[in-house]
Amino acid sequence: MAIPISFSLSLSYPVSISLSLFIHPFSLMEKALQAVLAAAGTFFAVTLLLAIVILACQRRKAKTSMLLTRHDNRATNPTRTRTRPLPNTDQSSVSVVDASWSSDPNLKISLTELARATENFSPNLIVGDGSFGLVYKARLNDGTVVAVKKLSPDAFQGFREFQAEMETLSKLDHPNIVKILGYWSSGPERLLVYEFIERGNLDQWLHEPTTGPNDHISLSDLRLPLSWETRVNIIRGVAHGLYYLHGLDKPIIHRDIKASNVLLDSEFKAHIADFGLARRIDTSKYSHVSTQFAGTMGYMPPEYVAGANVANQKVDVYSFGILMLETGSGRRTNLPVKLGEEDIGLVQWARKMKERNAEMNIVDVNISREGLREECVKEYVRIACMCTAELQKERPEMPEVVRLLDSMPL
């Protein structure tokens, strides 16, 4: 139905024209409906977008909360750490994220226990700074005093490598080798637990200033200069430990023999520690192993300094010879020695003293000369010079070194 709209035009002519415009009523309704639909569509789109944003935020918040809860549980709930024996060869290929192991079933190795025992790894309990980590003194709930080493993430490539090394080292049984008691591992975190050796390391006794009663410590903590006899016995202990490592079916090369890695017990018996750089060699296949640059400046053999990356038992022999000279002289291995107007290295200085028949000049000035036998010092320096020979083939093997040291007069 059309709605007529009429109007008239008056012209100069006597004519009257009437025009009618017709507007369909549904055209108005259609436009109104389109406007309503457009508004509804816009409202729905905006509502849907807001819902998606809110849902995404809620999911992200829930995921974050779950990760935080998992982290807190791992740090505080020891039941999440699976304690089990070291895996055998067939199991070692299984990738394990969280694991712990103890040589004694009664010795609890968990993050909660170790954090409590070290007072949350307090700097006040640090007793050493070895390769790849700090060492803390810790007292477990059962009263056992242990050393806990917190390894840096780059100490091992992954858990399987770490696990294999611990399996090897836990089987070592020698009075001059530190005994590993267990470990805790989660992701990149590694904690190594081993027996606590009372008197610290040899480096402290050789180089740290003598502490006196005015420093408010007990007499048992005094570090007085070691006697010549004590130093020789320490060196003999290290030699026997290396002899044991090199004599295994698959010899172990320590690769970081130095004073700070020699621990001393209450009777000043030596214990070789810190096997973070140690490597095993299969003598049935190879006489050496190619490896990355390793060791400590001042103790490394000439072939390492020259860039060679070949390691065998003779590498340890050289470092041991340096340790002999350091222990006997009380001099730092990486500091030059003044000889006349010339500054020379420790090895060169020892050789010159030997050539001049002046080996007694090598002996630490803090050592009493009373009762010190010159023939003992001469033999000691001779063995040290043999071990630090420039060429590997000229260095003795550890069985020969042990034989010479044990037969040396005191």
- Displacement of CA 167 from its chain's centroid (Å): 17
pLDDT tens, position by position, 128-140: 876 678 899 999 8
What mean pLDDT is predicted for residues 78-100? 43
How much is the pLDDT for 7? 44
344, with CB counted inside 10 A (0-12, 13-18, 19+), is middle
How much is the pLDDT for 407? 96
- pLDDT over threshold 70, residue 13: no
Express as a percent the part of the chain with pLDDT over 90: 43
| Beta strand spans in 119-261 (E) | 126-130, 133-139, 145-151, 180-186, 189-195, 252-253
Among 150-154, 160-164, 187-191, where is mean pLDDT lowest?
160-164
How much is the pLDDT for 129? 77
Give the CA distances from residue 99 to residues 2, 93, 177, 179, in Å, rounded to whole numbers and listed in that order: 89, 14, 25, 20
- In this structure, the dihedral spanned by the alpha carbons of residues 99, 201, 268 and 136, taken in order and rounded to 10 degrees, is -40
Measured CA angle at 43 (ends 40, 49), to 5 deg: 140
Q: Where are the alpha helices (DSSP H) in 247-336?
A: 302-305, 313-329
How much is the pLDDT for 353? 96
Main-chain phi, psi angles of 308, to 5 degrees: -70, 145
Residue (of 392, 371, 372, 273) closest to 328 by Cα position: 372
Question: How far, in Å, CA of 70 to CA of 77, rounded?
Answer: 10
List active site positions: 256
| Contact (Cβ atoms closer than 8 angstroms) between residue 385 and residue 351 | yes
Q: What is the value of pTM for the model shown?
A: 0.72
* Domains and their CATH numbers in the chain: 95-196 (3.30.200.20), 201-410 (1.10.510.10)
Question: How far, in Å, CA of 148 to CA of 194, rounded?
Answer: 7
pLDDT tens, position by position, 339-396: 988 899 999 999 999 999 999 999 999 999 888 999 999 999 999 999 999 999 999 9
pLDDT tens, position by position, 225-238: 999 999 999 999 99
